Amino acid sequence: MTDAFVTGVGMTQFESEGPESALELAEQAAWRALSDAAVEPADVTSVHVGNMAAEAFEGRTGIENALCGALGVEGAIVDRIENTSASGASAVLRAVHALEAGASSCALVVGAETMTSAETDEATELISQLVHDREYAQGVTLPSFAGLAADRYLRTYDVDRTALARVAVKNHRNAAANPYAQFQEPITLEEARASPPVADPLRLYDCCPTSDGAAAVVLETAGDGVRIAGITGATGTHAVAERSSPLEIESVERAGRGALDAAGVARDDVEVACVHDAFTILELLELEELGFYDRGEAWQATVDGSTAVDGRLPVNPGRGLKARGHPLGATGVAQVVELTWQLRGDAPEERRVDDPRTGLALNVAGFGNNAVCTVLQRS
C-alpha cells in the first residue's frame, strides 16, 4: 500500500499532427493538473517526465529541465524516464518511489510525445527498433508480431476475426464521448472489418494511430479521494521468438500480480480497467494474462458486452490507445488520468462507469518486453 494520493489530473487532446511541441503540450497538461490539485509550482518537490524520443521526433533533449523552467518550478528533484511505450507509467512509478522514500512530498508527473514531428518513415523505423536486435535484423516489426499473435489466437481458439473488430468498435464508441480522443466518431463492425490490411489478420482499425499529446498527474503524500494503492513494473522475455508461446506475455502477468498484491486487492475487486490496446489482440491477451479471463475467453467477453462501459468489467472506457491515440510517453499517464476521472465520477455520463472504487491500468513497453501495472482506489 502506498501513500501516493492523486490530487490533480490534466491532459491535452491527443491529435494527429498539432502545431505544438512536446514541451508546449507538457506545459499545458501540467498546468491543468496543478490547477486541478490547487497546487502552486513552488509547492512541487519533484518532477518526473515520461518521454520516449524527443531527440528523434523533435531533435531536442532536456525536456524535463525546460518544463521546470516554463512552469517556474525551482529546487525540485527532476528526471526524465524512458521506457519505450511504457515511459508514462514508469514516470508514475518513479514518482511513487520518490514519495515513499521521503524524497518528495508533492510530485508532478507529465508524459508527452509528438510523434508526428518526424517523417512517417522515420517514426516507423524508430518504433521498429523496439524489438530484439535479431528480430529487427530480420525485418520483424511490432505490427507483424501482433499479426502473428492474432493469427495464432484465432486459430487456437477457433475464433472469427470479427471478435477483433468488436474490440475496435467498442473503444471507438467510448471515444465518441471523449473530447480528448484523437478519434471521436464511432465506427461500425463492417467498417472495422473492411479497413485496409496491415498485418494479416489485423487491419487498420485494429492498430493504434500515430499521435501527439500530453497528460499529467499530481501525486501527494497527504490527501484523500483517489490513491495509488499499488504499482509494479516487470520485465519479460525480450525476444518474442524465445517465448514459450506468442500468446503469453510474462511481463503483464508479473506486473499485474505484483500490483494487485501490493494493493491488497483481488482481481474481482477491480471494477474498471485501462489496458494497453496498441493492437486489438493485445487487449484480449492482456486481460487473460492479468487473470480476468481464462485463456481463449476474453474475446467472448467482448462479444457478450462484458467489457463495455455498462458491462461486468468495463475495459478502456476512455477509448484506449486504439481511439484515444498513443503518444508514446503520454499513454501511461493518460490511463491514470482516465481512471481518476472514473473513480471521482468526473467522466462524461456516456462513458462513465457506475460508481467504481477500484481501477487498474496496464502500460506495456514494446510487445511485452516490459510492463507497468497500477491499481488505484477511491477512499
* Nearest alpha-carbon partner for 133 in 263, 27, 241, 31: 241
Question: Which residues, including other chains, have CB under 8 Å from residue 97's CB and lie 6 or more apart?
Answer: none
- Which three cell numbers mark 177? 464521448
The answer on pLDDT for 30 being more than 90 is yes
**Per-residue pLDDT tens over the stretch 98-154:** 999 999 999 999 999 999 887 777 777 777 777 767 776 777 788 888 999 999 999
Among the residues of the chain, which ranges form H helices?
Answer: 22-37, 54-58, 63-71, 87-100, 120-128, 133-137, 142-156, 162-175, 189-194, 250-263, 280-289, 298-304, 331-344
Please give the full DSSP string across 89-124, using - where no structure is assigned: HHHHHHHHHHHHTTS-SEEEEEEEEEGGGS-HHHHH
For residues 135 and 295, the model is more confident at 295
In the chain, what are the domains? 4-120+211-220 (3.40.47.10)
- Which has the minimum average pLDDT: 128-137, 152-161, 344-353, 369-378? 128-137
Amino acid at 219: L
d(CA 186, CA 323): 9
3-state secondary structure of 226: strand
| pLDDT score, position 174 | 83
| pLDDT score, position 132 | 67
CA angle 63, 66, 69 (to 5 degrees): 155
d(CA 297, CA 300): 5
| pLDDT score, position 1 | 61
d(CA 255, CA 360): 11
d(CA 329, CA 69): 20
Confidence of residue 263 (pLDDT cuts 50, 70, 90): very high
Number of C-beta neighbours around residue 305 at 10 A: 13
* Nearest alpha-carbon partner for 25 in 17, 73, 332: 17
Confidence of residue 185 (pLDDT cuts 50, 70, 90): confident
d(CA 46, CA 221): 12
Q: Is 300 exposed, middle or buried (0-12, 13-18, 19+ CB in 10 A)?
A: middle
Mean pLDDT along residues 68-91:
97
The answer on pLDDT for 321 being more than 80 is yes
